[in-house]
């Protein structure tokens, strides 16, 4: 049966346009020419944010790995944020605004390093932000903090509990980062802070876990399960960061993309082939492979292949006027292999 899709951008709620006036904007957005520090600038998304904001801000960046051929308008520092020298970056640059994006999201390194960089690193970055008078902060958290549980509603909003560690303890540091940042938001109302939780991010530059998962030729799935997944293009995430800074948005926000599709549609559209495995087999095989270091994702991730973790992006839409520019088709096309 053929049915042509409805024209126009996909919207979750098409009954009334969102009332903009419901969110009074008392905070001022960033002025052109402010100094912006991006941590984790050499990562795919960091580079995109730097390029997206390079004309508006004076951009400084810090990363522990160098960025070959960084643009001339970026002042680049190669330093590990666990090192004492990291504070010098704040001392020299004196940033007005900060985008915190320096996280280890893969499992190839020592879990202790992951914890130090993510949790202790975030704590230090936020402490320096206060000590050196940063006026606005954007922290890029992720949608995974909510966890994938069978009784998740579709379209969880921001006050939903961060349940991920219940079934996926390996990424509890991401929930801790989010909690640290939220505590900072309440403790320092003088700093305009936006904590963004973007959904599964795909794109040419981003090397996310979900990108690696979908770029396999044969993609393991769980037999009898096909949850809805949301995707967003990396350019739209960069756009969300820019909007948060420029509109002076303060709060915790889900950043939802153009829509949701079943996991197997996403696998098909990115050029892979789904291989359904019975759950006990998948748990046993991937658990062992992961412990031996032969597979990149811990078995806790299996719940994300079974249950939905789908976010309601309405609050950010209203507060910052954000709408994704890239459709689902564009997003899948950007990583098709």
Partner 1 sequence: MVLAPIVSLSRAVTDALPRSIHALQHEIDERMLRIPTRLNAYGYDPWGFHPDSARRSMLITALLYHYWFRVETHGIDRIPRGRALLISNHAGQIALDAAMIVVACFFEAEPPRVVRGMGEYWLPTVPWLNELMVRTGSVVGTRKNAIDLLKNEEAVISFPEGIRGMNKLIWERYQLQEFGQGFMRLALETDTPIVPIAVVGSEEQAIAIANARPLAHLLGMPAFPVTITFPWLGLLGLLPFPVKYHIYFGQPMRFTGNPSDEDEVIGEKVEQVKARIATMLADGLAARRSLFW
CB 259 → partner 1: shortest distance, Å?
A: 5
Distances (CA, A) of 130 to 162, 176, 189, 191, 230: 26, 20, 11, 8, 35
Classify residue 80 by its DSSP letter. -
CB 6 → partner 1: shortest distance, Å?
A: 5
Q: Does 150 bind partner 1 (CB under 8 A)?
A: yes
Both tokens assigned to 297: 């994702």
Q: What is the per-residue binding string for partner 1 in 9-48, x denoting contact by CB under 8 A?
A: -x-xxxx---------------------------------
Site for partner 1 in 241-260 (CB under 8 A): 259-260
Task: Indicate the helix (H) or strand (E) that contains 237.
Answer: helix 234-247
Residues 6+ apart with CB under 8 A from 285: 277
Q: Does 224 bind partner 1 (CB under 8 A)?
A: yes
Q: How far is CA 124 from the centre of its chain?
A: 20
How many other C-beta atoms are found inside a 10 Å radius of the C-beta of residue 265?
16
Q: Does 312 bind partner 1 (CB under 8 A)?
A: yes
C-beta of 207 vs 327, nearer to partner 1: 327
Q: Does 211 bind partner 1 (CB under 8 A)?
A: no
C-beta of 61 vs 147, nearer to partner 1: 147
Q: Is 43 left (phi over 0), alpha (psi -120 to 50) or beta?
A: beta
Among 25, 67, 3, CA closest to 248: 25
Residue of 56, 205, 225, 295 interacting with partner 1 (CB under 8 A): 225
Classify residue 116 by its DSSP letter. I
Q: Does 325 bind partner 1 (CB under 8 A)?
A: no
Q: Does 336 bind partner 1 (CB under 8 A)?
A: no
Q: Does 304 bind partner 1 (CB under 8 A)?
A: no
C-beta of 152 vs 323, nearer to partner 1: 152
Q: 38 pairs with which residues across the strands?
A: 61, 99
Both tokens assigned to 21: 């006036």
Contact 249, 243 (CB under 8 A): yes
| Contacting range for partner 1; rule: CB under 8 A; set: 40-48, 210-218, 318-326, 327-335 | 327-335
Contacting positions for partner 1 (CB under 8 A): 1, 3, 5-6, 10, 12-15, 150-157, 223-226, 228, 259-262, 264-265, 269, 276, 279, 307-308, 312, 327-329
């Amino acid at each position: 049966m053929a049915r042509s899709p409805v024209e126009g951008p996909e919207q979750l709620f098409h009954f009334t346009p969102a009332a903009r006036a419901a969110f009074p904007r008392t905070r001022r957005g960033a002025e052109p020419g402010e100094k912006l520090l991006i941590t984790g600038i050499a990562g795919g998304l960091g580079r995109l944010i730097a390029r997206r904001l390079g004309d508006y801000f004076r951009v400084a960046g810090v990363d522990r790995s160098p960025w070959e051929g960084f643009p001339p308008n970026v002042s680049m520092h190669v330093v590990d944020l666990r090192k004492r020298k990291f504070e010098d970056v704040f001392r020299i640059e004196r940033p007005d605004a900060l985008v915190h994006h320096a996280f280890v999201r893969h499992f190839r390194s020592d879990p202790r390093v992951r914890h130090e960089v993510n949790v202790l690193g975030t704590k230090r970055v936020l402490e320096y932000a206060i000590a050196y008078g940063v006026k606005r902060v954007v922290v890029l958290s992720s949608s995974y903090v909510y966890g994938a549980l069978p009784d998740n509603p579709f379209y969880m909003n921001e006050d939903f509990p961060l349940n991920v560690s219940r079934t996926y303890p390996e990424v509890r540091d991401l929930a801790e980062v989010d909690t640290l940042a939220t505590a900072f938001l309440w403790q320092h109302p003088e700093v305009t802070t936006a904590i963004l939780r973007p959904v599964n991010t795909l794109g040419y530059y981003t090397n996310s876990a979900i990108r690696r998962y979908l770029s396999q030729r044969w993609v393991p799935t769980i037999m009898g399960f096909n949850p809805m997944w949301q995707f967003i293009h990396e350019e739209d995430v960069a756009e969300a960061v820019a909007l948060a800074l420029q509109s002076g948005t303060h709060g915790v926000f889900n950043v939802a993309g153009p829509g949701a599709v079943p996991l197997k549609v996403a696998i098909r559209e990115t050029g892979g082939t789904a291989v359904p495995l019975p759950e006990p087999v998948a748990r046993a095989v991937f658990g062992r492979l992961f412990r031996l270091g032969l597979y990149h994702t811990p078995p806790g991730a299996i719940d994300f292949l079974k249950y939905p973790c789908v976010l309601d992006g309405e609050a950010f839409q209203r507060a910052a006027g954000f709408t994704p520019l890239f459709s689902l088709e564009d997003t899948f096309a950007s990583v098709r292999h």
